[in-house]
A and B are shown apart, each in its own frame.
Chain A
Amino acid sequence: MIEGILIGLQTALSFKNLMMVMIGCFSGTIIGMLPGLGPMTAIALMIPITYGFDPSTGLILMAGVYYGAVFGGSTSSILINAPGVPGTVATSFDGYPMAQQGKAGKALAIAAYSSFAGGTISAIFLLIAAPSLSLVSLSFRSPDYFGLMILGLTAVAAFSSKGNFLKAMMMVVLGLMLASVGQDTLSDIPRFTFDNMNLSDGISFVLVVMATFAMSEALTIIFKANDPTKAAKQISLSQLGSIKLDKDETKKMVTTIPRSSVLGFIIGVLPGAGATIASFLAYGMERNFVNDEEKQKFGKGSVNGIAAPETANNAACSGSFVPLLTLGIPGSGTTAVMLGALLGFGIQPGPRLYQTNPEIFWSVIMSMYIGMVVLLILNLPLIPYIARVLATPRTFLIPLILFFSLTGVYLMSFNNFDIYMMIGIAVVATILRLYDFPMPPLILAFVLGGLMEENLRRSLLISDGSWSFMWDRPLTIVIMLTIIFIVGWQIYKSFFKKT
């Protein structure tokens, strides 16, 4: 393990990778600040750039963008009450009221320190837990993996469905259907290609991500431009106030950060949960922990109310790397995008990753520490300047997002068929989003589709076509029962319980 850490440290501290962490954190912070553009979009925009790098560097860049985007999301939450990332919605509950009191600088500082602390503590957890988890996960067999993938998909569907689980499940199926286009991996038999050569290799992952996130997000913003409920609020950066914290505020943060870090990390590790759930749970938990006097301040600019969700969402980001790196199963939609990118590099994350590619495994973990330091340096002194990006008129911003999306796809294939397909998927995705059909389950399903089919194939072949593999082993039974519980509860909640 020590040797692995040293290898990781060496790789992460190379000049090129240090630059990538900085570029990733910086660009992620800026993209994360823009309302509507979350870490998933930020990473999707980075994928074409990472193709020129080796896997470690590419992953380090994407990880930097990830933390940066989550971190940056808090800025727009606090300054204009428009969270750039769902994970920072809870931050706006107290951050925005504090900013309105002329203490925006203080709110941003609390967010920066909390994010740093949460990210660092959870990176230590990751360092300790990841190898042991990967050893445990070696005992997983094909049926368990198949079950875990369904669990991941149903969990993501449950958390992102906004009360409409069946809509999310339809998106899961649609994602899997899109993944089934192209030649069958084992027999090379063409499926759903309609004799079109452009489809024989399947639909590109970058194309689907760009279409469903960056492009459809841009189209949705224009589509809803006249909607009074969605009107963008003008940003006022004239009063940021001091960024210094007094003793009392520091004391409050010291008690909040450890418990929110633990909660955030645990939530992040669970497939499907991620930063959004972690931040909401931490906010709720903190409200129950504080005294009555402090409880009254919640929603009106409470220090604990900012520190808790900010700590938890960053801790969850690190936590979500555990299932990604050790099991090959993404803990969130964002890590699903990263899994796709890793597969694009020819790397299969899983229990053996830290044995076969230790430099990748450990360098990503090590780059997290460095990333947190970079983010702290960025967020404190540079925030007033970076925040001016928020003032970029959408008349320029939207075409530039479309430009990056189209270029990203064109650079992969150099044919216009992919551009047309991307436009088609983006238009469909825009309509679906309009009616609250969530996109993260679709992406996760698209990424996991191939692996799911592979594990189902193995399981069915081993059991000679019998579905008994689902209850042959205690571990598989536990996973399947969890899935049944999630599906049953969500259907009940969606249709028989008003939210």
Chain B
Amino acid sequence: MKISPSKLISLLFFIFSGYYLYTAYQIQVFAFDENAPFNAKTFPIYLGFAGLVFSALYIILPEANPTNVDLKVLDYKKTIGLVILMILYGLTILRAGYFLSTSIFLVASYIILGERKWIWIFILSFPFVAIFMYLLHGLLNIYLRDPFLKYIGIMG
């Protein structure tokens, strides 16, 4: 039996709703609130049931307009590359600081997507981030922690 991707997603949503509902029942409410008409877990419980109902309906009922996606033409390499790059950006931003990590993130993203115009790659990374940072830090007074710029003495 072949299951369509949309039905598979609905099945995952059904399982997720079941888990959500189970977690909603585990919410600890105050003793005096236990039998109140509405407490902290009432709404989540309704949502859990709604999720189960809608996903079950989608799984059971026939699909009139199924979505067909040709998985062979999708560009996994570049997309996964960008996602990994963003995770690395999250890992480095607090340690290396905003300027360095953002600039390197931009350079690496341009390269992953196939850009090879090095002058533009440079202009739209280090100087671009510097100007943006000046706008935030210098003009709008939004403090951006940056150990690297602090180390080289540009930021206080």
**A17 to chain B: closest CB distance in Å?**
17
The verdict on B18 contacting chain A, using a C-beta distance below 8 Å, is no
- Size of chain A's interface in residues, with CB distance under 8 A? 70
**B31 to chain A: closest CB distance in Å?**
12
The verdict on B91 contacting chain A, using a C-beta distance below 8 Å, is yes
The verdict on B86 contacting chain A, using a C-beta distance below 8 Å, is yes
Q: Which residue of B lies closest to A430 (CB)?
A: B79
**Which one of B37, B63, B89, B115 lies within 8 Å of A464 (CB-CB)?**
B37
**Which one of A187, A228, A423 lies within 8 Å of B39 (CB-CB)?**
A187
Q: Which residues of B contact A228 (CB under 8 A)?
A: 73
**B114 to chain A: closest CB distance in Å?**
6
Cβ of A435 and Cβ of B110 under 8 Å apart? no
Cβ of B30 and Cβ of A499 under 8 Å apart? no
The verdict on B1 contacting chain A, using a C-beta distance below 8 Å, is no
Would you give 20 A-B contacts (Cβ < 8 Å), ordered by A?
A163-B65, A166-B54, A167-B58, A170-B51, A177-B44, A180-B43, A187-B39, A191-B27, A222-B113, A227-B70, A228-B73, A403-B105, A406-B102, A406-B105, A415-B94, A416-B94, A423-B87, A435-B67, A453-B43, A457-B42
The verdict on A399 contacting chain B, using a C-beta distance below 8 Å, is yes
The verdict on B153 contacting chain A, using a C-beta distance below 8 Å, is no
Cβ of A184 and Cβ of B40 under 8 Å apart? yes
The verdict on B78 contacting chain A, using a C-beta distance below 8 Å, is yes
Which A residues between 172 and 186 are near B, CB-CB below 8 angstroms? 173-174, 176-177, 180, 184, 186
Q: Which residue of B lies closest to A421 (CB)?
A: B90
Cβ of B62 and Cβ of A495 under 8 Å apart? yes
User: Residue-by-residue, is B89-125 near A (CB-CB < 8 Å gives 1, otherwise 0)?
Assistant: 1110110001000100110011001110000100010
**Which one of B57, B70, B115 lies within 8 Å of A396 (CB-CB)?**
B115
The verdict on A419 contacting chain B, using a C-beta distance below 8 Å, is yes
Q: Which residue of A lies closest to B76 (CB)?
A: A223
User: Residue-by-residue, is B38-66 near A (CB-CB < 8 Å gives 1, otherwise 0)?
Assistant: 11111110010011001101100111110
The complex places the Cα of A228 from the Cα of B144 at a distance, in Å, of 42
Q: A222 and B75 in contact (CB under 8 A), knowing A173-B51, A396-B124?
A: yes
The complex places the Cα of A187 from the Cα of B67 at a distance, in Å, of 43
**Which one of A163, A166, A435 lies within 8 Å of B69 (CB-CB)?**
A435
The complex places the Cα of A18 from the Cα of B136 at a distance, in Å, of 22
Q: Which residues of B contact A192 (CB under 8 A)?
A: 20, 23, 44
Cβ of B37 and Cβ of A465 under 8 Å apart? yes
**B89 to chain A: closest CB distance in Å?**
6
Cβ of B40 and Cβ of A173 under 8 Å apart? no
Cβ of B47 and Cβ of A176 under 8 Å apart? yes
The verdict on A96 contacting chain B, using a C-beta distance below 8 Å, is no
Cβ of A219 and Cβ of B28 under 8 Å apart? no
Q: Which residues of A contact B78 (CB under 8 A)?
A: 222, 225
**Which one of A169, A399, A414, A498 lies within 8 Å of B106 (CB-CB)?**
A399
Q: Which residue of A lies closest to B71 (CB)?
A: A434
The verdict on A474 contacting chain B, using a C-beta distance below 8 Å, is no
Q: Which residue of A lies closest to B112 (CB)?
A: A399
Which A residues between 429 and 466 are near B, CB-CB below 8 angstroms? 430-432, 434-437, 452-453, 456-457, 460-461, 463-465
The verdict on A410 contacting chain B, using a C-beta distance below 8 Å, is yes
Q: Which residues of A contact B51 (CB under 8 A)?
A: 170, 173-174, 177
**Which one of B38, B41, B86 lies within 8 Å of A191 (CB-CB)?**
B41
Cβ of B64 and Cβ of A52 under 8 Å apart? no
The verdict on A395 contacting chain B, using a C-beta distance below 8 Å, is yes
Q: Which residues of A contact B62 (CB under 8 A)?
A: 495
**Which one of B50, B74, B140 lies within 8 Å of A227 (CB-CB)?**
B74
Q: A411 and B142 in contact (CB under 8 A), knowing A167-B6, A170-B51?
A: yes
Cβ of B75 and Cβ of A226 under 8 Å apart? yes
**Which one of B54, B76, B82, B87 lies within 8 Å of A402 (CB-CB)?**
B82
**Which one of A180, A395, A436 lies within 8 Å of B113 (CB-CB)?**
A395
Q: Which residue of A lies closest to B69 (CB)?
A: A434
The verdict on A496 contacting chain B, using a C-beta distance below 8 Å, is yes
Cβ of A225 and Cβ of B89 under 8 Å apart? no
**Which one of A170, A225, A395 lies within 8 Å of B58 (CB-CB)?**
A170
Cβ of B110 and Cβ of A499 under 8 Å apart? no
Cβ of A399 and Cβ of B110 under 8 Å apart? yes
**Which one of B28, B82, B86 lies within 8 Å of A222 (CB-CB)?**
B82
Q: A219 and B64 in contact (CB under 8 A), knowing A184-B40, A403-B102, A403-B106?
A: no
- Which 10 pairs show the lowest CB-CB distances between chains A and B? A465-B37, A399-B109, A395-B115, A419-B90, A184-B40, A395-B113, A189-B40, A416-B90, A166-B58, A453-B43
The complex places the Cα of A496 from the Cα of B29 at a distance, in Å, of 43
**B5 to chain A: closest CB distance in Å?**
5
The complex places the Cα of A60 from the Cα of B13 at a distance, in Å, of 39
Q: Which residues of B contact A176 (CB under 8 A)?
A: 47, 50
The complex places the Cα of A497 from the Cα of B64 at a distance, in Å, of 7
User: Residue-by-residue, is A293-318 near B (CB-CB < 8 Å gives 1, otherwise 0)?
Assistant: 00000000000000000000000000
The verdict on A19 contacting chain B, using a C-beta distance below 8 Å, is no
The verdict on A380 contacting chain B, using a C-beta distance below 8 Å, is no
**Which one of B37, B54, B120 lies within 8 Å of A460 (CB-CB)?**
B37
**B84 to chain A: closest CB distance in Å?**
10
Q: Which residue of B lies closest to A420 (CB)?
A: B90
Cβ of B67 and Cβ of A436 under 8 Å apart? yes
Cβ of A169 and Cβ of B54 under 8 Å apart? yes
Most buried by B among A164, A176, A189, A399: A399
User: Residue-by-residue, is A484-499 near B (CB-CB < 8 Å gives 1, otherwise 0)?
Assistant: 0000000100111111
Cβ of B102 and Cβ of A495 under 8 Å apart? no
The verdict on A407 contacting chain B, using a C-beta distance below 8 Å, is yes
The complex places the Cα of A434 from the Cα of B93 at a distance, in Å, of 30
